[in-house]
Chain A
Amino acid sequence: MSGKICSMLAFVYLLTVMFVSPANAYAMHIMEGFLPVQWAVLWAVLSLPFLIAGVISIKRTLRDRPNLKMMLGLAGAFAFVLSALKLPSVTGSCSHPTGVGLGAVLFGPAAMSVLGCIVLIFQAILLAHGGLSTLGANTFSMAIVGPFVAYGVYKITQKLGAPFWLAVFLAAALGDLLTYVTTSFQLALAFPAEVGGFMASFIKFNTIFAVTQVPLAISEGLLTVVVFNVLAAYNSQELQELSVLSKEEVQI
């Protein structure tokens, strides 16, 4: 192969990656049927304990405050609608927020794992996005790793005395980033490269998807800060009921 044609092909490939993926840059879900059986089953089995724990924790909360059930149902619908919104991305194209950080901070990670799983089912069936056989893997990356990371980051940065907006930004952005790294991890485990094995494959997937996912994480971080600012300014009472804000923060 002559060098010219080769570099041209590489250029065309890069262009396709740049233009095919951002055109539809939803949060990254592994599509239906993409994972081999053993991996699909493994991730489903790994997600199950979190879902069971989530259902149990929701049940316990409902015993004291039964009105929260309606709240959770609407929160799920809210997360679904959020994922269907178009978010102007830093690169100029459009992407879709995941709502992982927002949900984790508002409702806590345990409830988010159950709600996230439900939202993923709806996305698969109503929007043809994601899938049933890959539901376990997607739940693990988007409804378990994402919210837990976001919540952990939020709590730690707050404890370190960081301003509220920074904690929210970091929680949303890192929650998004870790979600996509987990997905790349899952794909690389299922499809190790012939040369270089798992690591080579992991790096490959990370680089390819970084094109869309890094701008998305930054945009979502910014957006979540704007959302919380509006909420804190006009709806501090509701936030307090959800116990997101402590009393002092509201007064500031």
Chain B
Amino acid sequence: MFKIDQYAYANRLGAVHPAEKFAFAVVTMIVCIVFSSMLTSLAVILLMSFITVRRAGIPGRFYLKLLSIPLSFLVVSVVTIAFTVSRETYQFIYGFTVWNLHLGITARDLDVAVNLFFKSLGAVSCLYFLSLTTSMVEIMSVLKRIRVPLLFIELMGLVYRFVFVLMETAGQIHTAQSARWGYASFRNSYRSLGQLISNLFIKSYHRSQMLFTALLARCYTDELNVIEPGYPVSAKNVLMIVLVELALVAMSLFTGGGLFGGIYS
């Protein structure tokens, strides 16, 4: 149902300890955001996409398609930041006038916008590494280890299990409705979608009651415990992660990235 979830279970890094993958993605992301220099961002993008495509074996075309998802938000926001709107003319490096308003780009804003574009893509590549190599169940086991409240994780687990069931139900209802012209007109589609949602809600309500009854019958109190598969901690991987992060930090400092994002962003 979700391609990302599918790859998270069937990639070549599946046997690696989830904490290692989690730490690698998160630390790299922090480095990328904290230094916020162009060179660091480019290095992170290249490193992460190389590992995701080459080591984990995610198809390149799918990876590119995934990268294009946040592009609409990114392009709109970056362009919004780059352009300045004012009534007076200003020292624009490029600008024009519409009606009485002056639109233009200042050197500083352009700098911020371009830097931001690459920084965001860098962070996104870290997120994709995590979500394409580590399944939700593994992520939850890592969260449990870093002491996120048990109730929160348990709710996460319940949500994860039921997303697929509800998704399928919603899809079936939608198909049935479309086959009966449920989405043929604007008015119809509102009515159909309203019915779909309220039905889905009632279905989930009853399902939750049934689940509780079933669990009670099996002596359920307070929490659901499952045995986690054991993963070997690989010293080689830990060393690699430390070395790569140190190299990234050294490179950022050396090229004048500056801690906390230089002057502007």
Contacts and interface: CB of A to CB of B under 8 A. Distances in A.
Interface string A5-32: 1110110010011001101100011111
Contact of A223 (B70, B119, B161, B193): B193
B84 A33 contact: no
Interface string A47-77: 0000000010011001000110111111111
B80 A205 contact: yes
A230 B195 CA distance: 7
Interface string A212-252: 00000000001100111111001100100000000000000
B97 A193 contact: no
B36 A36 contact: yes
Contacts of A231: 198, 201-202
B34 interface: yes
B197 A114 contact: no
B29 A133 contact: yes
A151 to B, nearest CB: 18
B76 A208 contact: yes
Contacts of B158: 69-70, 72-74, 76-77
A121 B196 CA distance: 25
Contacts of A154: none
Contacts of B127: 32, 124-125, 128, 131-132
A59 B83 CA distance: 48
B129 to A, nearest CB: 11
Interface stretch (B52-60, B204-212, B229-237, B239-247): B204-212
B38 interface: no
B50 interface: no
B159 A195 contact: no
Given A1-B96, A128-B4, A208 B80 contact: yes
Contact of B163 (A23, A55, A81): A81
A229 B197 CA distance: 11
Given A114-B155, A191-B81, A238-B205, A21 B72 contact: yes
Interface string B211-243: 110010000000000000000000000000000
A59 B133 CA distance: 33
B139 interface: yes
Interface residues of B, number: 94
Contacts of A181: none
Contacts, number: 263
For B76, B106, B126, B139, the residue with the greatest tally of chain A CB atoms inside 10 Å of its CB is B76
A102 B30 CA distance: 35
A194 B106 contact: yes
Interface in A76-123: 76-78, 80-82, 84-85, 87-88, 102, 106, 114-115, 118-119, 121-122
A195 B106 contact: yes
A187 interface: yes
B191 A226 contact: yes
B232 to A, nearest CB: 24
A76 B112 CA distance: 37
Query: Main SS of chain A's interface residues?
Result: helix
A132 B29 contact: yes
A204 B251 CA distance: 36
Contact of A20 (B2, B69, B76, B215): B76
For A36, A129, A196, the residue with the greatest tally of chain B CB atoms inside 10 Å of its CB is A36
Interface of B: 2, 4-5, 26, 29-30, 32-34, 36, 66, 69-70, 72-77, 79-81, 83-86, 90, 94-98, 103, 106, 108-109, 112, 116, 119-124, 126-128, 130-131, 136, 139, 149, 151-152, 154-163, 165-167, 170, 183, 186, 189-191, 193-202, 204-205, 207-209, 211-212, 215, 260-261, 265
Given A40-B33, A74-B204, A115-B159, 15 more contacts: A16-B76, A32-B123, A33-B29, A33-B120, A33-B126, A55-B151, A67-B209, A69-B158, A127-B2, A191-B112, A193-B109, A227-B194, A234-B202, A235-B198, A238-B205
10 interchain residue pairs of minimum CB distance: A33-B123, A73-B158, A226-B194, A6-B96, A77-B162, A76-B159, A230-B198, A70-B208, A74-B204, A33-B120
29 contacts: A1-B95, A1-B96, A13-B79, A16-B75, A20-B76, A21-B73, A33-B29, A33-B126, A36-B36, A55-B149, A55-B151, A70-B158, A76-B158, A76-B162, A78-B166, A82-B197, A85-B193, A118-B152, A128-B124, A128-B128, A129-B70, A132-B29, A133-B29, A195-B106, A204-B80, A204-B83, A208-B80, A226-B193, A234-B202
